Amino acid sequence: MILLYIILVILMGVGILGAVLPGVPGVGLIAIAIAIWGAFNGFAGVTIPLVVAVVSLLLCTALDFAATYWGAKKFGATRWGLIGAFVGLLLGFVGLLPALPVGGPFLGALFGPLLGALVGEFLYRRNLALAAKAAVGILVGNIFGRIVQLVLAIATTAIFLFATIPGLFGPASQPALGLLGVGL
């Protein structure tokens, strides 16, 4: 059971990274890990972490769109910029942008939306300064959304850990931990 717990906590760590890295699942991965742990333990002690994970997942999904939209509108972006950012994200992630010396698809997915928004806005407005301003707005909204998602992912994981560690390493688990060579 401890091995499963460790694997799921590592999976949650990947979920935390996914909150900021494009193309990597974030809070959804954390929610799945909590649900797996709950399924193996009859959902004892994970009701609150699971509810928090689902609420965080819903918030992150809504925030992903809302923050980018807010940044775009605040800086004067049009639908062309948003479409360009989406196309830039896809092209950057699959590596159709020029090969980057480090970072590969992750950096492509970070810079792709900026370049895509810039191109989309420029095609629509034919004004580089306005296109750049709108592209920066989309980037600012995206970064703000990712920061909030990171905080939610860390908080969700922390709530799970605080709810489950005492039961995992409680008095009933002492003999099993001794067999594993873990002393408490």
CA-to-CA separations, 8 to 3, 38, 97, 122, 123, in angstroms, rounded: 9, 11, 34, 45, 46
Domain that holds residue 98: 2-179
Q: What is the rounded distance in angstroms from the CA atom of residue 134 to the CA atom of residue 131?
A: 5
* Distance from C-alpha of 111 to C-alpha of 106, rounded to nearest angstrom: 9
Strand, coil or helix: 100: coil
Q: Quick check: is 184 in a domain? A: no
Residue of higher predicted confidence among 108 and 16: 16
Mean pLDDT of the chain: 80
pLDDT in tens, 11-33: 999 999 988 876 677 888 999 99
Token couple for 103: 């970072």
Whole-angstrom Cα distance, residue 168 to residue 161? 10
Give residue-wise pLDDT tens across range 60-88.
Answer: 878 877 877 787 777 777 888 888 888 88
7 in a structural domain? yes
Integer Cα distance of 120 and 125 in angstroms: 9
Specify the pLDDT at position 89: 77
Q: Is residue 157 part of a domain?
A: yes
Does residue 151 fall inside a structural domain?
A: yes
Q: pLDDT category, 36, cuts 50, 70, 90?
A: very high
Q: Please report whether residue 82 resides in a domain.
A: yes
Q: Reply yes or no on whether the pLDDT at 182 is more than 70.
A: no
SS3 12: helix
Distance, CA of 73 to CA of 57 (rounded, Å): 24
Q: Which of the four pLDDT bands, split at 50, 70 and 90, describes residue 184?
A: very low
Number of structural domains, the chain? 1
User: 106 CB contacts (<8 Å, ≥6 apart)?
Assistant: 21, 22, 23
More confident residue, 169 or 36: 36
Decide if pLDDT at 9 tops 90.
yes
**What is the CB neighbour count within 10 angstroms for residue 37?**
25
User: What are the structure tokens assigned to 77, written together?
Assistant: 């972006």
**Entry pTM:** 0.73
Residue 70 near residue 148, CB atoms below 8 Å: no
Residue 176 has what pLDDT? 45
Whether 25 maps to a domain, the answer reads: yes
The answer to whether residue 94 scores a pLDDT higher than 90 is no
